[in-house]
Amino acid sequence: MENIAPNAPSPENQQRSLQRDDCLRAFRETRDCSMQLAAPLSPEDQTLQSMTDASPTKWHLAHTTWFFETFLLEPHDKSYTAFDPAYRYLFNSYYEAVGERHPRAARGMLSRPGVDEIYAYRRHVDEAVTRFLLTASEADWPAIASIVELGLQHEQQHQELILMDIKHAFSLNPIAPAYDPQTPPPGTSSDLGWVDIPGGLYKVGHEGETFAFDNEGPRHRVWLEPFRLAARLSTNAEYRAFIEDGGYSRPDLWLSDGWAEIQAQDLSAPIYWRQRDGEWVEFTLHAEQPLDPNAPVCNISYYEADAFARWSGKRLPTEAEWEVAFSRASVEPSEGVSLHPTAATGDGLTQAADACWQWTSSAYAAYPGYSPPPGAIGEYNGKFMCSQFVLRGGACITPRGNVRLTTRNFFPPSARWAFSGVRLAEDHA
């Protein structure tokens, strides 16, 4: 497994409305964490955009700063002076309500502002936010704390993207650079165990005072038939067996779109797997490494996950199944449960959020009763509810603050650069 855990803010941040001190500390720690993630990267590295879906490191550093400037300082801090008015355009990601923006596919063309200037931008905004948080009135505090919390969650999402994106960019370089030159520890894995979950009417989704993204609620009832969930993720060794059994040449195993894709792109293995002298190696944030048979298979598309599950005689879980299994709650509300990522649950489920996100068979859609919040913030999640699948859990590169029982990550079925793996499921008579 790759071994790059972003420094996480302490778990207290997850509790209720943030106190001012906690808020300031979380702000400082989260902002520092982004800078530490960028530290091993040269100005040249930070400029790369390897595909439209990915962004340059320095763009992430600037955009997360733009978020605080646009949603916190500009509307709430009358004394704030913009660092550079052009940044409003340059570093907007997709908020139509905020105005025109630089085309996503052209982010890699912005050599200027350079890394030094973006670091200065971050300092400018950090100082302004800090000053503002210290001086905001008590009356305004809850609203302000809520924006800061969203901004920090947002920044943590981009911390994960920084690592996903640089891994993809480096993978295109024939000299296979290492983001982190250390050698990762080997994985361990046991025989595949199963956890049985009875059918019934359950509640899923977020509810309560603690932070969650809008798309995690409302909490609502779902009926589930009895099912079983694999206790651990599927491994590289298991996925290699799928390949060796002709997995990439049997159309009966694949969704029609997935088969078209592997034919068109001539795919025969996960995106980061390579043959070197007859052996599989895997490109990682630690450069190329021998394929670790015990580590979870990672960076696979929904199509690959689904075909592998079909080959295994199993299926992918729905997101409700995943959440119910990990919560072991029935119809009781579950307030902001923090997943403990590495420890096993009482039932024996492991690898909730410390290895790979886990593809579910659920298309990303609104929960019953969901409606996006008004204004630009309403564009955060709702407008993407189409042609994507939900992933649950978290990955080794996911900041802990983004890991909740109810977190819904989502990607198109062809996406292969997320840290995405497979937890198998099956019906249970």
Query: Which residues of this protein are in contact with a copy of itself, per CB under 8 A?
Result: 42-48, 50, 58, 86, 89-90, 94, 96-97, 102, 106, 108-115, 169-170, 172-175, 177, 201, 220-225, 251-252, 254-259, 302-303, 361-363, 365-366, 368-369, 378-379, 383-387, 412-413, 427
User: 172 vs 344, which CB is nearer to a copy of itself?
Assistant: 172
Q: Is 177 exposed, middle or buried (0-12, 13-18, 19+ CB in 10 A)?
A: middle
Q: Minimum distance between the CB of residue 35 and a copy of itself, rounded to whole angstroms?
A: 17
User: 281 vs 363, which CB is nearer to a copy of itself?
Assistant: 363
Which token pair is 340? 């403990």
Residue 404: CB atoms within 10 Å: 23
Q: Minimum distance between the CB of residue 305 and a copy of itself, rounded to whole angstroms?
A: 12
User: With contact defined as beta carbons under 8 Å apart, do 348 and 218 qualify?
Assistant: no
User: 94 vs 294, which CB is nearer to a copy of itself?
Assistant: 94
Q: Minimum distance between the CB of residue 325 and a copy of itself, rounded to whole angstroms?
A: 15
Q: Minimum distance between the CB of residue 240 and a copy of itself, rounded to whole angstroms?
A: 24
User: 119 vs 141, which CB is nearer to a copy of itself?
Assistant: 119
Residue 268: CB atoms within 10 Å: 12
Q: Is the peptide bond before 113 cis (omega within 30 degrees of 0)?
A: yes
Which token pair is 287? 């450069």
Collect all residues with Cβ–Cβ distance below 8 Å to 126 and sequence separation of at least 6: 27, 28, 31
Report the relative pairing of strands 279-284 and 220-224 from DSSP bridges. unpaired
Q: Give the Å distances, CA to CA, from 25 to 68, 186, 195, 392.
A: 16, 34, 39, 28
User: 59 vs 273, which CB is nearer to a copy of itself?
Assistant: 59
Q: Minimum distance between the CB of residue 367 and a copy of itself, rounded to whole angstroms?
A: 10
* H or E stretch covering 70: none
Q: Is 34 helix (H, G, I), strand (E, B) or coil?
A: helix
What is the spatial distance between Cα 385 and Cα 408, in angstroms, rounded to a whole number?
11
What is the spatial distance between Cα 224 and Cα 197, in angstroms, rounded to a whole number?
9
Q: Minimum distance between the CB of residue 22 and a copy of itself, rounded to whole angstroms?
A: 34
Q: Give the Å distances, CA to CA, from 379 to 339, 354, 375, 383, 385.
A: 27, 29, 8, 6, 11
Q: Minimum distance between the CB of residue 10 and a copy of itself, rounded to whole angstroms?
A: 34
User: 398 vs 409, which CB is nearer to a copy of itself?
Assistant: 409
Which token pair is 353? 């959020």
Q: Minimum distance between the CB of residue 377 and a copy of itself, rounded to whole angstroms?
A: 12
Instruction: Calculate helix-pair angle for 115-135, 57-68, nearest 10 degrees.
Output: 20
Which long-range contacts does 279-283 make (Cβ < 8 Å, 24+ apart)? 280/240, 282/236, 283/167, 283/170, 283/171, 283/176
User: 27 vs 170, which CB is nearer to a copy of itself?
Assistant: 170
Q: Minimum distance between the CB of residue 210 and a copy of itself, rounded to whole angstroms?
A: 24
Q: Minimum distance between the CB of residue 34 and a copy of itself, rounded to whole angstroms?
A: 18
